[in-house]
Amino acid sequence: MGKTLRDSSKDAAAAATLRLRHAGLRPTRQRVELASLLFKNCDRHVTAESLHDEVTDAGLKVSLATVYNTLHQFTEAGLLRQVIVDSARSYFDTNTGDHQHFFLESEGMLIDIPGESIAVAGVPAPPPGLSVDRVDVVIRVKRA
Amino acid sequence: MGKTLRDSSKDAAAAATLRLRHAGLRPTRQRVELASLLFKNCDRHVTAESLHDEVTDAGLKVSLATVYNTLHQFTEAGLLRQVIVDSARSYFDTNTGDHQHFFLESEGMLIDIPGESIAVAGVPAPPPGLSVDRVDVVIRVKRA
DNA sequence: AACGGGATTAGAACTATTCTAAACTGTGAG
DNA sequence: CTCACAGTTTAGAATAGTTCTAATCCCGTT
């Protein structure tokens, strides 16, 4: 028989707990709740503010400071990736694989572009003493 | 005969004044001083703070608010280009042509990469209703 | 020289983010 | 099962970068 809503919520929590343990993070209530929201569905892009609103709207109580802490810890642990496209706010991406982004600045919207589809050629060697850490491509788009 | 230091300073100011008029900006003392610093030498990358320090160290008096206003007006007028690589501060680039950047985050240093040398292939068509505004490539580097 | 509108300014205000210090809680030992 | 403690959370203060405000100033025209 199908699972009830409560079951799937429990499942998400259980999965989140596992994921946290794997990452070496203690599965506190707040971290489990945030991880459940972040990783339940498909790839997502959030800001601290948007995630805080979301968790609050869900009737859960997590402070904004904890949302910031958690986003950074998750990023540190490789569960999230920070996307820098706007000098006003930070975005975090649940897709940590190789990919790039469309960015619609007027609406703060990010859209993934699979890594395989984009190729960057002709990158010169970095100046002596420096090594390449990552290549970021941002396709800035606007409403046609 | 060679020009004196005072002459070349005057030249820079005269050139800056012309450049401002061409861009449709009134050549005020502050704008001329900032433009002289920005465009006297080769390509430069500045932040509001760094430019304010520079103009202050030169013994000139320009408020930080004016530096911000001016950077935005220059950008608007196509004299500068804003570079988004850091979610904590804004960089402005005197090179407005087609090019990309190395970014050494730990030192807030930007290095130009000529546009011809880099090619981005395989960019998918943007979602319906959106059009590509610009393609930014940032090569994040670290001390080897 | 006087005028008018844009430009500049100091300082307040604002936004996103980080810090602080106190209260709380998961976890392993007993 | 309970205790203790290190790690976590929290409210609120603090900070950094940037923008706003409203008064003053000055460039270009008359």
SS3 per residue for A2-47 = CCCHHHHHHHHHHHHHHHHHHCCCCCCHHHHHHHHHHHHCCCCEEC
Q: Which of A4-8, A134-138, B128-132 has the lowest mean pLDDT?
A: A4-8
CATH assignment of the domain containing B76? 1.10.10.10
SS3 A143: strand
Interface of B with A (CB under 8 A): 84-90, 102, 104, 111, 113, 117-124, 126-127, 129-144
Task: Please indicate, yes or no, if residue B118 is contained in any of the structural domains.
Answer: yes
Within this chain, do residues A53 and A119 fall inside the same structural domain, yes or no?
Answer: no
What pLDDT sits at residue B11? 78
Query: B47 and B102 share a domain?
Result: no
- Among A80, A101, A132, which residue terminates a domain? A80
Q: How many CB pairs under 8 A join A and B?
A: 119
Total domains, chain B: 2
Query: What are the backbone angles phi and psi of residue B120, rounded to the nearest 5°?
Result: -110, 120
What digits encode the pLDDT tens for the residues A23-61?
Answer: 999 999 999 999 999 998 889 999 999 999 999 999 999
Per-residue model confidence (pLDDT) at position A57 = 96
B104 and B77 part of one domain? no
Residue with more model confidence, B2 or A65: A65
- Residues A53 and A102 placed together within one structural domain of the fold: no
Task: Give the domain range for residue B107.
Answer: 96-141
**Each residue of B13-49: pLDDT tens digit?**
999 999 999 999 999 999 999 999 999 888 999 999 9
Q: Which B residues 51-90 have CB within 7 Å of strand C?
A: 61-66, 69-70, 87
Decide if pLDDT at A126 tops 80. Answer: yes
Under the banding of pLDDT at 50, 70 and 90, the label for residue A2 is: very low
Write out pLDDT tens, residues B74-130.
999 999 999 999 999 999 999 999 999 999 999 999 999 999 999 999 999 999 999
The reply to whether A43 and A63 lie within a common domain is yes
A59 with A121, same domain: the answer is no
